[in-house]
Structure 1
Amino acid sequence: MTNARILLDGLKLVESPRWHEGRLWFCHWGAGEVIAVTPEGAHEVVPLAEGVDPHTIGWLPDGRLLVVPKNPEPDGRLLRREADGTMVPHADLSALPGDLNELVVDGRGNAYVNGPGFAFLEFIKNINPADPRPLTERPGYRPGFIALIRADGTVVQQEHDIAFPNGMAITPDERTLIISESFAGVLTAFDIEPDGTLINRRTFAAGLGPDGICLDEDGAVWTSSGGNEAVRVAEGGKILDRVELDRAPFAVMLGGADGRTLFICAAKWDAQDPFAARTGQILAVPAPAAHVGYP
């Protein structure tokens, strides 16, 4: 596909991109910021409460912003930004095991959050490249989870055996949730029951290195191949399109006026000091099909 153009450069790690009200919003890890940028590159830091270090974000149907802080201890809060800009607790996630990672919110106000079940950065730093075992068999690994946070704030842990859960997306009919299992190299799908619970686990596509994901109107998923390229994959695993990069894509999001611009959060990954270098970029490239679903 066409070479991607750079919207923003010189960032740290960039994650959790979301298209909202005409701009791409994303979390600037290592800087403790949420940034919103237009398709032309004009950008601003979105004000949050002092001390809130955003890890992932999403919006309720009424337009209020949800934020999972990077370090939610000691009370494990999911935060909500009110219309006046104040940050208040939305749900207590302290009963969930391990760290938290990604968030997606559906059109009914149900939120799904996941987590790896172990200390990811410590795990990555200690990886021995000569060890032939899969990552799921290395010391320190534990299966991750998905939890449902209903609109009333109740928390229900759903799935307990996710191989490093990463990006999630929900189809526009709110009947299917797709999640990246990064350590298994697969996209996994679940049916969503009317009460928000997940059933019928199955493989959507395998042979990838999936991270942050989004859906298009053709039923395809944009994600990472596991190398320096973003790929568009159909159910069953066929690669439909590729965008080659000079660094790793950590997450993708479709947006723009017609939903046909693919925004890519990319950076050069250093497991020993991931937040030091400023290799992060926000890139944009035309896409063949428009965005649908959540986020």
Structure 2
Amino acid sequence: MSDFELAWDSRCGVAESPVWDAATRRLLFCDINGKRINALSVDTGARESWDFPEVVGSFGLCHSGRLVVAQRHHVVLFDPRSGALTDLTPKIQEPPTNRLNDGKVGPDGAFWVGGMDENSPRQKIAGLYRVTADGRITKQEDGYAVSNGLAWSPDGRVMYHSDSTAGVIEAWDFDPATGGRTHRRVLATLTNEDGRPDGAATDAAGNYWSAGPSAGCLNCFSPTGALLRKWAFPVPGPTMPCFADGALYVTSLREGKSADVLAAFPTLGGLFRADAPAVGAPVGLFAD
């Protein structure tokens, strides 16, 4: 595998949620507190950005060509072609100190999204939700500090999730027809030195790739939780990997870094790319 190169010197505060859109051959990612989604054409290098009224915790692709987007406390639909923004859900009943964070479209066609506590120290007061195209919100789990790391096995039969603060990666057996889950188990428990789990992606072999910003690395786990590889990242704070067209893209974190760190790593908050170590699992589409 080649070293990472800088694909976009975006200098986001918190670049997150990279998503591969095969239909348009673009890699999309958000700047959470910058309230923006960026799109990079992998063929031409053309760039486009869209601004939102609130923080963009995460987003996913829709069958219609729209995006399903997590704002601070609710979920919207956005049409990149027209710029139309439509509320999908009412306010999700999270504590006022929380906001929506990591989210992905599952094999069931629903948007799964979790909350996070913005207090310091963070408390375990956030939930994990399933959002359907009719705007229905169903709380699935509770008791997280930072819900993160959503991903599914390539056959859609296993769902992965993490709590970044607790350092725990968990998995369930998953029914792609109904979104039902059974048999929760802990895949791994990680410390700061290991690389506490942030955003994640799965490959076609079923391995789970987790960004470890506290250790500046990507951790690759087998479906049974064996650590297969620890891949050093060129800058501190990788936030989420994404497989796309023979490449692995990874977003990164700039916010909260010291002046010394920013001087040493001026491209923090950028989008990075390397030759893919594997083929990615299928990208889910929201059933709108």
Q: Determine if the TM-score, normalized by the shorter chain, exceeds 0.5.
A: yes
Structure 1 distance, partners of 2:133, 2:173, is 19
1:32 is displaced (CA, Å) by 2.4
Alpha-carbon distance in 2 for matches of 1:96, 1:282: 30
Aligned-pair CA distance for 1:177:
1.5
* Structure 1 position 172, deviation (Å): 3.4
Give 5+ residue unaligned stretches, structure 1: 124-137
Of 251, 268, 278, which residue of structure 2 is paired with 1:265? Answer: 251
Aligned-residue identity in percent? 23
Q: For the structure 1 residues 151 and 32, does the alpha-carbon distance in structure 2 shift closer, same or farther, using more than 3 Å as the test?
A: closer
What is the letter of the counterpart of residue 63 of structure 2? P
Does the Cα contact within 8 Å between 1:104 and 1:112 map onto a contact in 2? yes
Kindly indicate whether residue 77 of structure 2 is the aligned counterpart of residue 80 of structure 1. Answer: yes
Unaligned ranges ≥5, structure 2: 260-265
Which residue identity is paired with 2:18? Answer: P
Q: Does residue 101 in structure 1 map to residue 101 in structure 2? A: yes
- Residues 151-208 of structure 1, C-alpha deviations (whole Å, 9 max, x = no match): 3221110111335211211233333211122122222112234432333211123335
Q: Deviations over 1:119-158 (max 9, x none)?
A: x2x41xxxxxxxxxxxxxx5x5124321111232211101
**Aligned pair 1:54/2:56, yes or no?**
yes
Choose which of 277, 282, 285 in structure 2 pairs with 1:293. 282
For residues 90 and 5 of structure 1, the distance between their equivalents in structure 2, rounded to whole angstroms, comes to: 37
Q: What TM-score does the superposition give when structure 1 sets the normalisation length?
A: 0.80
Question: Measured at CA, do residues 183 and 48 of structure 1 come closer, stay the same or move farther in structure 2, by a change above 3 Å?
Answer: closer
Q: Distance in 2 between matches of 1:157 and 1:272?
A: 37
Question: How far has the Cα of 1:48 moved from its partner?
Answer: 4.9
RMSD: 2.6
Q: Deviations over 1:19-56 (max 9, x none)?
A: 1131110002343221111336724233356x244221
2:165 aligns with one of 162, 183, 190:
183
Give the letter aligned to residue 39 of structure 2.
A
CA 1:156/1:272 → structure 2, altered by over 3 Å: closer, same or farther? farther
Please give the alpha-carbon distance, in whole angstroms, between the structure 2 residues aligned to 1:270 and 1:47: 24
Match of 1:222 in 2: 209
**1:92 counterpart SS class:** coil
Check the 8 A contact 1:59/1:105 in 2, yes or no. Answer: yes
Aligned residues, how many? 266
**1:37 counterpart = 2:19:** no
> Does the 8 Å contact 1:33/1:45 carry over to 2?
no
- 1: CA distance, partners of 2:144 / 2:183: 14
Alpha-carbon displacement from aligned partner over 1:193-239 (angstroms, at most 9, x marks no partner): 44323332111233351111011011111112341112222133333
SS in 1 for 2:99: coil
Counterpart Cα distance in 2 of 1:205 and 1:175? 19
**What is residue 3 of structure 2 aligned with on the other side?**
3
C-alpha change, 1:26 and 1:41, in structure 2 (3 Å) is farther
- Within 5 A, what are the aligned runs for 1:218-257? 218-225=205-212, 226-244=214-232, 245-256=234-245
Aligned match of 1:90: 88
Q: Secondary structure at the match of 2:37?
A: strand
Query: Alignment partner of 2:100: what SS?
Result: coil
**Structural mapping, 1:48-197, within 5 Å:** 48=51, 51-69=53-71, 71=72, 76-82=73-79, 84-97=82-95, 98-116=98-116, 118=117, 120=118, 122-123=119-120, 141-193=123-175, 194-197=177-180
Give yes or no for contact 1:7–1:41 (8 Å, CA) kept in 2: no
Give 1:276-291 correspondences, 5 Å limit. 279-291=268-280
Aligned pair partner of 2:182 in 195, 199, 217: 199
Q: C-alpha separation between the residues in 2 aligned to 1:95 and 1:10? A: 33
